[in-house]
């Protein structure tokens, strides 16, 4: 297939692009490189340095490549930054996505897969979290993702654009060959921060609260390997091409790990000391976020292959040999 990928130079996008190339698909990556890394891309892909806010140039990329499907990763994704700069997030994420969806429809592309987030659920009422959980975003970043899902629903009704919105839980890990991995600036995610501490790039890790209603008092999250996410995106494209209906689907392992469990596992894998300090809770942190992934298994015939040990091991391999 010919597949156009926005944000393909980013963390999850680049793993998906490598997955497509390994499966012999033709790929065009559209990325403005504001937060992505050109070094993460295979040399065989077509690369267009283009901003989604530039509608004319964006549409010309689609016309030139003629993709059968579009997979949309491009977005700003820092919760804290979204609270401080909501204008930036609504412009980049919502306006940029509107331009892309409009261009896709005008160019006759029929299939669209969207990188969404479990943040849309906010503080969920039920654990594990199913797709039936009400949408209740509690920050501008999550608001932008929900707006894009609503936009896709409306564009399907009006123009027939078939789509799958994949709501990720906590993406983590790195490619098994160690060539690409997670590189954010600043880095907001727990596993890289824990590994930075093991490398002595940080003095210690801060644990935000140990008085939650969990086994050890720290927050529990569902960590999903980035290669499992990549596999699910290709399965979502195939599902749509084979006649599947538009859908919202959770992507998680269905297994949760606490902050202290992550630190302990990282100590065992790295054989390094990882000092930590218990500090006050962060506002808005739910105690437990774990996916109900039955729908992904049933509809996409998808099964996560990697557990938390493989996630931390591949991340450690990447961070000890990081090339970008």
> What's the predicted TM-score (pTM) here?
0.96
Over the stretch 68-80, which tens digit does the pLDDT of each residue have?
999 999 999 999 8
Closest CA to 191 of 265, 298, 247: 265
* Greatest CA separation for the chain: 57
Percent of all residues in the chain with a pLDDT value above 70, rounded to a whole number: 100
The Cα 134–Cα 153 span in angstroms is: 16
Over the stretch 251-272, which tens digit does the pLDDT of each residue have?
999 999 999 999 999 999 999 9
CA distances to 67, 120, 317 from 71, rounded to whole Å, are 10, 19, 28
Low-confidence ranges of the chain (pLDDT < 50): none
Burial label, 241 (beta-carbon count in 10 A; 0-12, 13-18, 19+): middle
Over the stretch 154-169, which tens digit does the pLDDT of each residue have?
999 999 999 999 999 9
pLDDT at residue 47, as a whole number: 98
By three-state DSSP, how is residue 166 classified? strand
CATH architecture of the domain with residue range 2-172+225-251: 3-Layer(aba) Sandwich (3.40)
Boundaries of every domain in the chain:
2-172+225-251, 190-221+254-320
Over the stretch 300-315, which tens digit does the pLDDT of each residue have?
999 999 999 999 999 9
Cβ 48 vs Cβ 32: under 8 Å: no
Over the stretch 189-217, which tens digit does the pLDDT of each residue have?
999 999 999 999 999 999 999 999 999 99
Residue 110 CA, chain-centre distance (Å), reads: 23
The Cα 263–Cα 258 span in angstroms is: 9
Task: Evaluate whether the domain defined by 190-221+254-320 bears CATH number 3.30.530.20.
Answer: no
Provide the annotated active-site residues.
141
The Cα 249–Cα 293 span in angstroms is: 8
The Cα 284–Cα 142 span in angstroms is: 13
pLDDT at residue 323, as a whole number: 83
């Amino acid at each position: 297939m010919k597949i156009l990928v926005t944000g393909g130079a980013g963390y999850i996008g680049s793993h998906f692009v490598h997955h497509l190339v390994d499966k012999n698909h033709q790929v065009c990556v559209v990325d403005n490189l504001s937060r992505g890394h050109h070094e993460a891309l295979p040399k065989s892909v077509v690369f267009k340095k283009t901003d989604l806010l530039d509608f004319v140039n964006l549409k010309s990329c689609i016309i030139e490549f003629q993709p059968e499907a579009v997979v949309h990763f491009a977005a700003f994704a820092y919760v804290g930054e979204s609270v401080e700069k909501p204008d930036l997030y609504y412009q980049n994420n919502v306006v940029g996505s509107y331009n892309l969806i409009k261009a896709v429809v005008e160019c006759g592309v029929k299939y669209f897969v969207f990188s969404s987030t479990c943040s849309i659920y906010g503080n969920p009422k039920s654990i594990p979290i199913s797709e039936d959980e009400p949408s209740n975003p509690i920050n501008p970043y999550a608001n932008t993702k929900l707006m894009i899902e609503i936009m896709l629903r409306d564009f399907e009704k009006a123009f027939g654009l078939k789509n799958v919105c994949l709501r990720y839980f906590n993406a983590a890990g790195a490619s098994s060959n160690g060539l690409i991995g997670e590189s954010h600036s600043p880095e907001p995610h727990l596993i890289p921060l824990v590994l930075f501490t093991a490398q002595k790039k940080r003095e210690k890790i801060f644990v935000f609260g140990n008085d939650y209603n969990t086994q050890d008092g720290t927050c529990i999250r569902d960590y999903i390997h980035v290669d499992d996410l990549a596999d699910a995106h290709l399965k979502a494209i195939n599902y749509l091409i084979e006649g599947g209906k538009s859908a919202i689907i959770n992507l998680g392992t269905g297994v949760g790990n606490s902050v202290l469990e992550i630190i302990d596992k990282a100590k065992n894998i790295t054989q390094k000391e990882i000092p930590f300090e218990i500090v006050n809770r962060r506002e808005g942190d739910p105690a437990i976020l774990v996916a109900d992934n039955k729908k992904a298994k049933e509809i996409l015939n998808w099964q996560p292959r990697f557990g938390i040990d493989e996630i931390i091991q591949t991340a450690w391999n990447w961070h000890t040999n990081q090339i970008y």
